[in-house]
Structure 1
Amino acid sequence: MTAATATPVWRPAAPVGFAAPLPAVDLIRVAAVDDGWTVSARVVVDSESPNLAGHFPGQPIYPGVFVVETLCQAMAQAVPGAPRLRTVTSVRFLAALLGGDEMTLDLDVRPTPPAGWAVRGTARRLDGTVTAQLRAVFDAGAGA
């Protein structure tokens, strides 16, 4: 985790080996709050990305599974121990993310007993449109 500041700053996201070649986080910022974290992850939807091929021809849409991958990569970079996704308890896809859109995924991360994290997230386009809402449970990660 990064040291908490009054206003967390955006920093380049580190590559993660488990999702290569899919970088699902371009920038990330993290702030410690109470007993958890707030995390924001940004990604620009590249309509030329081979990961969007066929989804859908002529109008590439960022697949919902990539929103979940953004969540996983953000958690791996922000929370000590690189927690792993255990359950997506709720997900709603509310608006499409098209080529050229930038998605910001804001997460509220709280500890859950006996060892893990409960996460609530909201994804938005730059214009403020909510594109997805999700809830998930992660394990505590390495050493859990």
Structure 2
Amino acid sequence: MSTPAQAAMSPLPTPWTWTFHEHSCEGTHATVRLPADLGAAHMAGHYPNHPILPAVLIMDWVQQAATRLNGASLHLHHLHRARFVRPLHPADTLNLTLDLRPGQPPSAQIHAHAQIMRCEDQCEDQLAAELDATFTPVPAHA
């Protein structure tokens, strides 16, 4: 995951378009569609002759999406749960859906639930990964 002094492993395109975005008093819910080959540089050695999107890159993309939704830089505070159930290959398209909820005051923490679905042309999308994490804002001076 990115830290304040470290750039994203594989930056997501800028600008991007959320395919769904809803903000309420309870938090923010949004989905973005991404081609898995955005991480092609990291797939080459993971694994030879059978490249898949590394889990750490998926986690980095979740952090980048959370930062964009939040409007300010975030860093991972705690990863509560991560489940990777299906590999993502270079030709796959994924839907990254993110639910952000603010922590209870006075905490500045943001709780996130992310679902990464592999998009299928002829059938329903398939769950590829699911993450629950807490992020904290990066101080302005960092």
Bin the TM-score by the shorter chain: 0.7 to 0.9
Count of paired positions:
126
- Alpha carbons of structure 1 residues 64 and 99: separation in structure 2 relative to 1, 3 Å: same
Where does residue 19 of structure 1 map in the other structure?
8
1:48 and 1:139 map into 2 onto residues whose CA distance is 25
Where does residue 45 of structure 2 map in the other structure?
54
Are 1:129 and 2:123 matched, yes or no?
no
Within-5 A mapping of 1:1-144: 18-19=7-8, 22-24=10-12, 27-29=16-18, 30-46=21-37, 49-113=40-104, 114-127=107-120, 128-142=125-139
- State the 1:48 CA deviation: 8.5
RMSD of aligned residue pairs (Cα, Å): 2.2
- State the 1:49 CA deviation: 2.2
The aligned amino acid for 1:71 is V
1:25 and 1:71 map into 2 onto residues whose CA distance is 13
Q: Relative contact order (C-alpha < 8 Å, sep 6+): which is higher? A: 2
Structure 1 unmatched runs, 5+: 1-16
The aligned amino acid for 2:52 is I
2:115 and 2:24 map into 1 onto residues whose CA distance is 18
Contact 2:39 2:57 in 1 (8 A): no
2:24 and 2:78 map into 1 onto residues whose CA distance is 23
Structure 2 unmatched runs, 5+: 1-5
- Alpha carbons of structure 1 residues 119 and 130: separation in structure 2 relative to 1, 3 Å: same
**Which has the larger displacement, 62-71 or 74-83?**
74-83
Q: TM-score, normalised by structure 1?
A: 0.77
Q: TM-score, normalised by structure 2?
A: 0.78
Query: CA-to-partner distance for each residue in 1:88-129, whole Å, 9 max, x for gaps?
Result: 110000101011101111011101121111111111011210
Contact 1:117 1:137 in 2 (8 A): yes
- State the 1:77 CA deviation: 1.1
